[in-house]
Amino acid sequence: MEFLNLKYFDNTILDYLIFIAALVVSAVLIHYLGRLIVRTVAARCEKTNVLYGDAIIAAIKRYLLPIAYFTAFTFCTRILTLGGGLKTAVGTISTLFAIVLGAIFLTSMAAFFFERLRRGRDESASIAVKWLGTIAKMVIWIIALILFLDNIGVKITSLVTGLGIGGVAIAFAAQSALSDLFCFFTIFFDKPFEIGDFIIAGEQMGTVEHIGVKTTRLRALSGEQLVFSNSDLTGSRIRNYKSMQQRRVVFTLGLTYDTPVETLRRIPGVVKEIVEGEQDTQFGRAHFASYGAYSLNYEIVYFVLSSDYDKYMDVNEQINLKIKEAFERIGARFAFPTQSLVWEGGAPAVTDKR
């Protein structure tokens, strides 16, 4: 068997045979091990009803198994004696292949996850999820590039430092845009309001029509569109009426000073009866609260059990009309500003009503 010791390109025939045998054995082992893993994962996903089972199995077949085959080939080449240039080339190609396939696997899983996350969401949520998916893919590929450069011997310390300085410069230059972008994600995750909500921000109010990456748009009650930058909107105090379950109504009634005490005592009961007679209302209280400059003041509190403003106005109108009818019936008169002039010469007092 002297021919087994014959050398070609610094390797004997025996070395080549061992290399081929190791390569075949590795391929067979990876093939059967991959089938076993796929079956195990499929059975587990079917048993536990995992939503992403098909995607995981497809990713194993498409990405992980080729990585395993190529890794086995790389390790088998170490059996042979390769020249300096060839050894470096094989190592570089192997590293690049493994990192690229790994990055593709991770990005495909991220894309699948974020795509499932987008389903059934409104426009603003879909935009936020799309941006998150894009950012995740960029981070994966940047990490893959850094790993590749580090493995082939490139000093990445200065590169990372340069990227950091460049990132700081870009951040300063695009400070406003980045602020609006991060505020967009704040709106998406914290959800202080959603599309369709009626909100008040500062002195402006309207219904949310669109939540974008940079701006949020409201439709005002008078019909015009209000455009806010996301940073301005999240930095202001927001009153959101969508979450309001009931509306508290407080108002004051003023009666004249010549109203009899017995009539004054009847007022709380009359108002309570009127409020409880309306649908979707809850009586709070009615009290003779204070003596005014020209009136005896009652403070009335009740609740409208709805967040609909039109509903509140309808109920408020009916209660006001019925209070007016009831006061006319019992002889209670509403007070209004008056002035009395008294003459010292014995002339009768004159009342000037204004």
pLDDT band per the 50, 70, 90 thresholds, residue 274? very high
Q: Which residues pair with 282 in a beta bridge?
A: 303
Least confident of 76-80, 254-258, 344-348: 344-348
User: In whole angstroms, what is the distance from residue 251 CA to residue 354 CA?
Assistant: 23
SS3 content of the chain, % helix, strand, coil (to 5): 60, 20, 20
Q: What is the model's pLDDT at position 252? A: 94
Amino acid identity of residue 331, one-letter, is: G
Say which residue, 17 or 4, is predicted with more confidence. Answer: 17
b/e code 209-221 from CB counts within 10 Å (16+ = b): eebebebbbbeee
Q: What is the model's pLDDT at position 268? A: 94
Torsion of CA 140, 144, 150, 153, to 10 degrees: -160
Helix (H, G, I), strand (E, B) or coil at 218: strand
DSSP 191: -
Q: What is the pTM of this model?
A: 0.49
Tokens of 296: 């005896």
Quick check: 144 and 99 in contact, CB under 8 A?
yes
Determine which helix (DSSP H) or strand (DSSP E) holds 94, and give its type and residue range: helix 84-118
Say which residue, 9 or 224, is predicted with more confidence. Answer: 224
Quick check: 181 and 229 in contact, CB under 8 A?
no
Q: What is the model's pLDDT at position 158? A: 66
**Cα–Cα nearest to 330, from 282, 265, 284:** 265
Least confident of 13-27, 176-190, 340-354: 340-354
Quick check: 271 and 323 in contact, CB under 8 A?
yes
Say which residue, 126 or 319, is predicted with more confidence. Answer: 319
Q: What would the pLDDT profile of 232-256 be if each residue is shown by its tens digit? A: 888 888 888 877 788 899 999 999 9
Quick check: 189 and 230 in contact, CB under 8 A?
no
User: In whole angstroms, what is the distance from residue 336 CA to residue 323 CA?
Assistant: 17
Q: How far is CA 186 from the centre of its chain?
A: 6
